[in-house]
Amino acid sequence: MGGRQLLYYNHAWGTLDRATADAIEHSGYVGEFADFEVRTTSGADGKVWTGRYLRGRETYLEIFGQGDVPGRDGEPGSAGLGLSTERDGDVEELKTRLRDAGVQPIDFLQTRDFGDGRPVPWFDAVLLVEEYERFGAWAMEYRDEYLDDPRGGAGPAKFPGDVTRERYLPDVYADKLMRDVTFVHVAVTATDLAHTVPLLRAGGCAPRTEGDSVVAACGGTTIRFEEVPIGLTGLRRAEFELNRPVTRHVERLGTSTLVVGPGERAVWTF
């Protein structure tokens, strides 16, 4: 599908076993590696989840432990992907492209309650299916109501219609090692993959088939979707660009391993 790129990798999430999630949460090294936060969030429809966030300049990774998010998403092997726009209004162009491709987008408004019982509009989301097996992808566009709320911690707009990931995320990353997520490998079912490809194509991520996988470039981050049976799904690997070169360090976190360096790259296998 032609046209300029509308969607960029925002974040991926994966649900891990409890021991691994706890090891990540209580690791002193993870807090040195990245702008790291453990946060419980109240969203739309009363949904509450607890995530472990590793935040970079424009991108981040979100880790759940078993039961940290309601329903099937809280089971190990579940994962998701958020792709976001950079300019206000691009989500409408995305929906037009989807309809032109014969796909009916599903609108959803995510909110966030900062604790006063008054939900703030957070982002407009576009889904392609109401329910998925183990992996779900969505498009998102941050709302002005959230970006302009000081409690959200967003920076000032750098141009009219600025809804960029860089504006949304804090600048704490500059004092850490992790700069951004550059690669994500996630294992998904054939059904979930089939529901994801139209979104990638409409967003300008140019998905292509490589063996048993579909590979897409969503901005500076490449995502590999490996097709697997339903019992083998989940987040498999993440790679990161670092702010500066370092010597090699290996951190074992439950069943996962984070290898930082040598150089300006880190790899986390799950």
Average of per-residue pLDDT across 107-134: 96
Mean pLDDT of the 180-202 span: 98
Model confidence, pTM = 0.96
How many residues are there in the chain? 270
Q: pLDDT class for 123, splitting at 50, 70, 90?
A: very high
pLDDT at 154 over 80: yes
- Look at residue 43 and tell me whether its pLDDT is greater than 80: yes
pLDDT above 90: percentage of residues in the chain? 98
Q: Tell me what the mean pLDDT of segment 216-224 comes to.
A: 97
Reduced 3-state DSSP string for 50-119:
EEEEEECCCCEEEEEECCCCCHHHHCCCCEEEEEECCECCHHHHHHHHHHHCCCCCEEEEEEEECCCCCC
Distance CA 247, CA 17 (A): 29
pLDDT band at 1 (very low <50, low <70, confident <90, very high): low
pLDDT category, 2, cuts 50, 70, 90? low
Query: Is it the case that residue 117 has pLDDT exceeding 80?
Result: yes
Rg from Cα positions in the chain: 18
102 exposure class (CB count in 10 Å sphere: 0-12, 13-18, 19+): exposed
pLDDT of residue 3: 79
> pLDDT at position 118, please?
93
Residue type, 57: R
Q: Residues 14-31: what's their mean pLDDT?
A: 98
Measured CA to CA, the distance from residue 214 to residue 60 in angstroms comes to: 21
What pLDDT score does 46 carry? 86
